[in-house]
Amino acid sequence: LTDEQIETLLKAAMAAPTAMNMQPWSFVVLTDTSAFDKIFEGNRRGEIYKKAAATVVFCGDTLATMRSRETGEMETRPNKFWVQDVTLSVENFLLAAKSMGLGAVYTACYPDYQLVGNVKKGLGLPDSVLPLCVVPVGYPADNPEPKDKWKPEKIHYNKW
Ligand X SMILES: Cc1cc2nc3c(=O)[nH]c(=O)nc-3n(C[C@H](O)[C@H](O)[C@H](O)COP(=O)(O)O)c2cc1C
Question: What 8-state DSSP symbol labels residue 133?
Answer: E
Would you say how long the chain is, in residues?
160
CB of 26 to ligand X, least distance (A): 19
147: contact with ligand X by CB under 6 A: yes
Note if the bond before 136 is cis, omega within 30 degrees: no
Q: Identify how many contiguous H helices and E strands the chain contains and give both numbers.
A: 5, 7
Give the interface size with ligand X as a residue count (CB under 6 A): 5
66: contact with ligand X by CB under 6 A: no
- Which of 8, 107 has the CB closer to ligand X? 107
CB of 31 to ligand X, least distance (A): 21
Residues 74 to 133: which contact ligand X by CB under 6 A? 105-108
CB of 87 to ligand X, least distance (A): 8
Question: Strand, coil or helix: what is 141?
Answer: coil
Cβ contact 52:29 at 8 Å: no
In one letter, which amino acid is 101? G
CB of 119 to ligand X, least distance (A): 13
- Which of 14, 105 has the CB closer to ligand X? 105
29: contact with ligand X by CB under 6 A: no
- Phi, psi angle pair for 95, to nearest 5°: -70, -40
Which residues contact ligand X (rule: CB under 6 A)?
105-108, 147
